[in-house]
Amino acid sequence: MNRKILLVALLSLFLLTGTLNALVIKIGSIAPDRSPWDKAIKKLGREWGKISEGKIKFKIYAGGIVGNEKDMIRKMRLGKLGGAALTNMGIIHIFPETFVLNTPLLLTSEKELDYIFEKMKPFFEKGIEEKGFKVVIWTLTGWINFFSKSPVLLPEDLKKHKISFTTGAPDLEQAWKKAGFHIVPNDLKDLTMGLESGMVNAFYLPPLMAASGQYFAQAPNMLTLKVSPLLGGIVLSKAAWKKIPNQYKKKMMDAAAKVAKDLYREILKLEEDALTEMKKHKLVINDIPPGGLETWRTAVNKGMDVLIGKAFSKEVYDQIMKHLAEYREVHEN
């Protein structure tokens, strides 16, 4: 009997020690609880828990309760957070060179993005790692489209509008202005008021945001032109990544890749649902006329040189343009 009691005690001690020794990674996110991003983080935590036999656990702080993206990056650097789910703006804050992907009309299709990102991914990840972070998930969180009160098909149509521009990217604001567009700096929280007052009569956002904020009701025309992609990611601090035993890392990254694919599919489905719902509420989707893409590229590129050497280096821009030329030579001729 004493032996059985001793074995039970030792087993309990072993289980308790295993629990106490679990690495708890605190993950911050501005995404609301139960949103696609939040679900993806929770799923990743469950998968990593299984792979590590319970030695890795996530503690998730959703909905911005640990601050905005700059706050979360700072807290990762201080060791107060182990990781964060970041939008493109958070990734750019860590490694500004990634801003090149947000250059308007540089990339205008998923296939172009996939090709360029595969070419540039090692460079981006190396730069982010040199800043003290590890990307465990990359995912496309949507594309930006123009929404306007009256139909926009070509650049000259858009130049007649006052475009709401979310503050925080002064170089991009100047690029749009140099290209001849009427830009009105305006916080997203003030967009509805700006549209209602006539201060602005156009904006560019992902369809999901246009639907969730009901902004499309005041600008019921959407152009199918993809202005730029939005790439987000889940990153860990290098310190947190180093604490994970090496024998688990390969399987963990494989699991992360699957979570990223599932999240991408869910976002595409949500975007499709959002467009369907907006069309029910009088959104009109306008296609670019034949040959219109080149007209847009020519018009917008008149201002985008403002970004080169400021928002990102000329070297990274030239590298992407080289890859784009290779891709378009095969696929556009």
CATH class of 2-331: alpha beta
Cβ atoms of 133 and 82 closer than 8 Å = no
Give the separation between CA 62 and CA 45, rounded to whole angstroms: 14
Model confidence, pTM? 0.87
Residue 41, pLDDT score? 96
Q: How far apart are CA 53 and CA 65, in angstroms?
A: 29
Nearest CA among 201, 199, 202, 200 for reference residue 223 = 202
Question: Residue with structure tokens 């985008």?
Answer: 304
What pLDDT is recorded for position 277? 96
Q: Residue 15 has what pLDDT?
A: 46
Collect the ranges in the chain with pLDDT lower than 70: 1-20, 333
The alpha-helical segments, DSSP class H, found in 52-190 are 69-78, 88-94, 110-130, 155-158, 170-178
Q: What is the spatial distance between Cα 238 and Cα 129, in angstroms, rounded to a whole number?
A: 7
Q: What is the pLDDT of residue 21?
A: 74
For residue 266, which of 141, 145, 143 has the smallest C-alpha distance?
A: 141
For 72, 75, 197, 210, the CA distances from 30, given in Å and listed in that order, are 9, 14, 29, 18
Tell me the H-state helices in the chain: 2-20, 36-51, 69-78, 88-94, 110-130, 155-158, 170-178, 191-197, 207-212, 238-243, 246-280, 292-304, 314-331
Q: What is the pLDDT of residue 141?
A: 82
At residue 166, the pLDDT reads 86
Q: Using an 8 Å Cβ cutoff, are 153 and 293 in contact?
A: no
Question: Tell me, what's the pLDDT at 169?
Answer: 87
Q: From the CB of residue 165, how many other CB atoms can be counted at a distance below 10 Å?
A: 20
User: What confidence score (pLDDT) does residue 226 get?
Assistant: 96
Please list, in sequence order, all residues whose beta carbon lies within 8 angstroms of the beta carbon of residue 303, skipping any fewer than 6 positions away: 174, 175, 176, 177, 178, 179, 180, 181
pLDDT at 1: 54
Look at strands 56-61 and 221-223 and give their pairing.
Answer: unpaired
pLDDT of residue 153: 98
Q: Taking the CB of residue 66, how many other CB atoms lie within 10 A of it? A: 18
CA 85, chain centre distance (Å): 9
pLDDT at 14: 46
277-289 pLDDT, tens digit per residue, is 999 999 999 999 9
Report which of 136, 179, 183, 202 is spatially closest to residue 296, judged by C-alpha positions: 179
* pLDDT per residue as tens digits for the range 244-284: 999 999 999 999 999 999 999 999 899 999 999 999 999 99
In sign, the C-alpha dihedral spanning 137, 245, 52, 15 is: negative
